[in-house]
Amino acid sequence: MSLIILSSPNVRRTIAIGRAIGRTAPSGSIIAFRGDLGAGKTTLAKGVAQGLGIMEPIISPTYTIIAEYQGRLHLVHIDAYRLLDEDEFMQTGGEELLGSPGSLSLIEWSERIAGILPKETQYITMVVEEDGSRIIMIEGDWIENIDWRRFVIPRFLDLEHASALIKRFQDDCTFD
């Protein structure tokens, strides 16, 4: 599993990072968001939806638990915040939607249903810094296939933590 660490100083950049994910996520992907309240999980989900070509407004399905949208892939947006446990999620039928062919599943508050997430789940952890910026850590197998230089302007990179990423691209990395 690979790890990329990005820095986002504002909402606009968080949405741009989400767009890159939405444009490149393969069919059947499951992305589990982790982070405190207000970390930017829903903002990132809005960017992912835009990257999938979804134009309708995206709001966190806190009360409905699951919202679905159609774009390049069928977006299944799950908010597990109000769930007591994994059994309650399974009662909603949500488990059947995870990883379906032609879909992309985004799960906010994924910690609440961690025990039923498949091993191929990709993880995005968001941390709010003291200055209000976000550190976005993306872990997964398919992120290795994303040419982040194409989607992510170099200033998005958290240079303090990005040495592994830069080393990975050292032979062909040009940030003009």
pLDDT in tens, 90-142: 888 877 888 889 999 999 999 999 999 998 899 999 999 999 999 999 987 76
Residue 46 predicted with pLDDT over 80? yes
pLDDT in tens, 133-176: 999 999 877 666 665 555 554 445 544 544 444 444 434 433 33
The candidate with the shortest Cα–Cα distance to 21, out of 31, 10, 34, 11, is 31
CATH class of 2-168: alpha beta
Sign of CA dihedral 60, 6, 119, 54: positive
Annotated domain spans of the chain: 2-168
pLDDT score of 55: 92
Read off the pLDDT band of 10 (50, 70, 90): very high
- Compute the average pLDDT of residues 19-26: 90
Contact status, residue 43 vs residue 11, Cβ threshold 8 Å = yes
pLDDT score of 176: 33
